[in-house]
Structure 1
């Protein structure tokens, strides 16, 4: 799931490699890894996971992935500045869409530069690919999936947002607060100070201390399913078998007055 800079360097000429630069276009234009394709979909979010809206949104994401030249047999590697949330979200999309050969560059572009490896300003213009989604329902959570699991001892909802968002001090939807019973663990805790994922031992200990175990169904969320995708990947790295990213996240939950919320006093 994670590739080191050395592994990417050794595979850079692989004709099946599709390298996705998830950073803003300005960063891509300044410098990027040779052969990378700019794919900034930050801000393209869904705030209604009811069936009709969800189906239309997923069709759009499938089309965008096809347009970047992804084929059914492509090896896709995603990166941003660090092992970050932008690349984690595309990692999750591809796993959810049934594409197993997807990886994240651990440490991101910063690690590539720190290793003294070549960069370029030459843009890659791909031909459209034949990628087709084969959704795995067990990898995604809708608002209804979350609602029916409130207070379930076999499931845990993980709030990956900031302290201020969790407590409702920072309001980014019609309502501030948290999903009732959610366990708060901000996504940045998955990383070390250099922007690499922490070791498996460190991650295992951290999640165990929050009673987020592999025997449970784990549903991370944030505001738009970027930060929660990062926690999804962290748990996948640990071998958790039942992890579902809540795609609508607080952008949906906080805006829907029919869904319950709470206001935690402390993060």
Structure 2
């Protein structure tokens, strides 16, 4: 079997394999302030052969008001959508966006949740692809439907787990939001500002170099090592505003060889929907 990619792939490496029959590429572009942006951008130009997946309709379940802004999708429905695009257990999947990997990493994490290992994020996204002089087109791909059997992993936790472990030293909560939102300032997306008590802050963009590509694995390992202290990766619970940008921190840790961290998918938007859950403000 050809070499597989489980975290990141560069644009040149992707271009060399773009037309391989066992590779499927997904365009995950999205804009939280303009939910039609991603599809319109995709229809205009995309990496040749790429399919489009929408954060809200494909990669999330409907909101109820108490389950966060981007609840996890139904696994069977997501698997069916992937099957329709030709994804089987043997497929190498590559996800990309134009937003520092924040939406592509959501698909990366979801596939791992379903039990799929051969999934990677395009390092540097569409900007890196274009900077390398690689082509774009607007043609709609045709898929050969595949069969996908679910094998879900226990790589996530829920609000009750987090609440039940507050203040316990064996769990480290890492919040991926910007520092001002973590402190409870400038909250524009959720009705309550602040963070989960005991959490520390690792802004997801801190994993990136100025050119938008991920830092070297050795650098990420050193930086996360300083945050984790004596905690093994399996005791780390990532979260953010709605379970999207936290996936970038999971991806960064995995690319650094720090495997096995968990995601609280409901994240702050779910946490703060219940006034009985405690809230902290200010720095960690």
Q: Give the TM-score normalised by structure 2.
A: 0.84
Once the two structures are TM-superposed, the CA of residue 101 in structure 1 deviates from its matched residue by: 0.8
- Residues 187 and 228, structure 1, Cα contact 8 Å, conserved in 2: yes
Q: 1:41 aligns with which of 35, 51, 55?
A: 55
State how far apart, in whole Å, the 2-side matches of 1:59 and 1:144 are.
24
Render the CA deviation track for 1:73-123: whole Å, top value 9, x for unaligned.
211011112541100000000011100111111111111111111111111
Q: Which runs of 5+ in 2 are unaligned?
A: 1-6, 30-37
Aligned partner of 2:32 in structure 1 is: none
Q: How does 1:150-229 map to 2 (within 5 A)?
A: 150-169=166-185, 170=187, 172-211=189-228, 215-216=232-233, 217-229=235-247
Aligned partner of 2:88 in structure 1 is: 71
Q: Which runs of 5+ in 1 are unaligned?
A: none
Alignment coverage as a number of residue pairs: 261
Q: 2:43 aligns with which of 10, 29, 36?
A: 29
- Residues 187 and 227, structure 1, Cα contact 8 Å, conserved in 2: yes
Render the CA deviation track for 1:123-151: whole Å, top value 9, x for unaligned.
114344322321111x1121122122222
Q: Pick closer, same or farther for the CA change 1:99–1:87 going to 2, 3 Å.
A: same
Aligned partner of 1:7 in structure 2 is: 13
Q: 2:251 aligns with which of 225, 233, 243?
A: 233
Aligned partner of 1:124 in structure 2 is: 141
State how far apart, in whole Å, the 2-side matches of 1:78 and 1:212 are.
31
Asked if residue 102 in structure 1 is aligned to residue 108 in structure 2, the reply is: no
Q: 2:159 aligns with which of 131, 135, 143?
A: 143
CA RMSD of aligned residues (A): 2.2
- Residues 83 and 104, structure 1, Cα contact 8 Å, conserved in 2: no
